[in-house]
Chain A
Amino acid sequence: MNNMTPKAPLDTAAGTHDSGEIRLVGVTKKFGNAYAVESIDLTIPHGSYCCLLGPSGCGKTTILRMIAGHETPTSGEIYIGEDMVVGKPPVERGTAMMFQSYALFPHLSILDNVAFYLKMRSVGKDERRGKALEMLERVQLDHLKDRMPAQLSGGQQQRVALARSLITNPKVLLLDEPLSALDEFLRLKMRGELKSLQDELGITFVHVTHTQPEAIALADMVVVMDTGRIDQADTANTIFNRPKTPYVARFMGGQNVLTGTVEANSGGAGKLKSAAGSTFEVKLDDEAAAVGSQLSIAVRRDQVAIRRGGANTSVGVNSVAGIVEATEYQGSYVKVTLKAEGDEFVANVSDRAYFAEPVETGDAVVATWNAEDVHVLSKVDTGGASASYLEGGH
């Protein structure tokens, strides 16, 4: 929180009329014949930090721009607070957008950049410059007020863009991949600052990103998207531990997805048999699948143990056998990638465990886990690991 001066939050009331709750109802956006976004229903609570997460082309930026008013939905409604805002210009919605390239006006000093909104409202020069200066003080850039954007570093430009957006007193702040242009170190630092800022201001933040660790670090609510639809919208914890679909499980990283046929199901204790013949024990709840149906399960990578084993060693329940394809040292753990069940299977083995009994590429190993650590997915996996093309970055 180094760059923010603690001050009273902006005047945004959490009452119903000034609520920053966002509701999308049946929102669809088509470009020509292609659907960018199809029939989206989403409610973002007032004052929450919401991350829209997904790969390029999934529609997350389109949704952001529709909330902002820079795109109009083909059909559907968008509510911000009590107001239906489709058709209203951005400035009347109570939203402010931070652009990926910051879009600071190159011909104006940063003071005039921040004061721009007030100038558009015909506020007098001295008054608006005074207010802009206050805003710059909050982001600790007041000493550079007469500089031009081209003279500032990337991190500084971003803070100016923030100040420029916040001076509009928004109920909702929309951020389009704000951290993508920064290097690793700066990215982590700014991440913390964004979180603190949102805490302090108490307004709704909607943040678009394609980086999974960023989303779960920042968000109260993560919305995972895939080609125009929302796969799952939940807290970060729920998404990580109880993904609904194979896509979410893989995309959030750290999850292996296995599929099997239900062999037995008595009182919630289910048994699945995979195509390769492995047996998985799994806890099925009341919506237990019938015997003979297909089910997919997810197992976290860090909850898998690896031991040497070949064709001779018996493979017990909750295990798969495979050949090591790669090992990657990651400091506190080693990422061991196997080919098992005809697909990719990853175990993040703690470094202590790994170096006690290292395995190399080509070794035959067995991966095991506990039945309690298995999570049942709502959708059966069809694509395999190759279907998810974005690594979580673990």
Chain B
Amino acid sequence: MSSASPSYGSRPWTFYVLALLFTLFVIFLYGPMLAVLILSFQGPSASLVFPLRDPSLMWFDELFNPRRTGDVVGAFNRSLPLAIVVMVLTVLISVTAGFAFRRRFKGATLIFYTAIASLIVPGLVLSIGTIVTFRYLGLSASWNTSGLGAHLSWALPFGLLIMFAVLGRLNPSYEEAAYDLGASKWQTIKEVVVPIVFPGMIAVALFGFTLSYDEFPRSWLTVGSKNTLPLEIWTMTTNVTSPALYALGTVTTVISFLVIAIALSSILFIQRKRSRGK
């Protein structure tokens, strides 16, 4: 598998160089998060420095105090439901659209490229456009209307691409076999196709949730007067230099990790069940 290595088993020197590069990269990726994690446990001396003096949980406490650190709880109570709604809608819309694209139909290419374009256009441009649209319609921007739509414009193309990859690899013989055995169109989808592509749907859900939960540029302005969590954090970075920010960072990262872990382990569980049995 490695190119041009003359003997089995032993690795060329390039392997070690690249392995080192990879390790450094992983440290580079995770290091700052680790730093934030550690810093969120620091004590009241509250200097954004190392090393830690008297560790404590006080900054986690501060998060729930809106006067000092901004409306974290409130923002969370908007981000979380929004992310869940985006997740559900992304799965429903991407999956059905993905199925539609299995056939040729007029306008397919146009819609496809529009979706890709939606990914490419800078978020700020879309935010401006969305609130202008809402203003002209006489509606006010709010996290559960314009914010929702803006998040969908980012999550749906991702979901669509994943469904393409998954459905593209789906062997059409499964559906033919089901049809041969008497399944109707609907039964085939319910009993055969959906179970088989279910891991892909979990991935779409994961993207839908995280892309919304962490979304910043497209939330800007479109969520209205009440901030989502990333926007609240943004406000805090410009106004607040307290370590409560780091505590918040830790909390939000832990939540993300939980979601990722649930999604990935579900996928893994399903794959193993299919290849190894119950």
Contact = CB atoms under 8 A, between A and B. Distances in A.
B277 A120 contact: no
Interface residues of B, number: 23
Interface stretch (B57-65, B152-160, B177-185): B177-185
Interface string B173-191: 1101111111100010001
Contacts of B173: 99-101, 103
A164 B192 CA distance: 15
A109 B178 CA distance: 15
B155 to A, nearest CB: 27
Query: Secondary structure at chain A's binding surface: helix, strand, loop or mixed?
Result: loop
A105 B182 contact: no
Instruction: Name which of B174, B181, B187, B277 has the most chain A CB atoms within 10 A of its CB.
Output: B181
Contact of B176 (A103, A117, A146, A147): A103
Contacts of A196: none
Interface stretch (A31-39, A90-98, A348-356, A373-381): A90-98
A89 B273 contact: no
Contacts of B275: 148, 150-151
Interface in A335-388: none
A90 B195 CA distance: 23
A70 interface: yes
Contacts of B183: 116, 120
Nearest to A112: B191
Contact of B178 (A69, A96, A116, A147): A116
A242 B276 CA distance: 53
Contact of A121 (B182, B191, B192, B198): B182
Given A105-B192, A107-B195, A90 B180 contact: yes
Given A91-B179, A95-B180, A96-B180, 17 more contacts: A90-B179, A91-B182, A97-B176, A103-B171, A105-B177, A105-B192, A105-B196, A107-B195, A116-B178, A116-B181, A117-B181, A117-B182, A120-B182, A148-B274, A148-B275, A150-B275, A151-B277
24 contacts: A68-B180, A70-B179, A70-B180, A90-B182, A91-B180, A91-B182, A95-B180, A96-B180, A99-B173, A103-B173, A103-B174, A105-B196, A107-B195, A107-B274, A109-B277, A116-B181, A119-B191, A120-B182, A120-B183, A146-B277, A146-B278, A147-B277, A148-B276, A164-B177
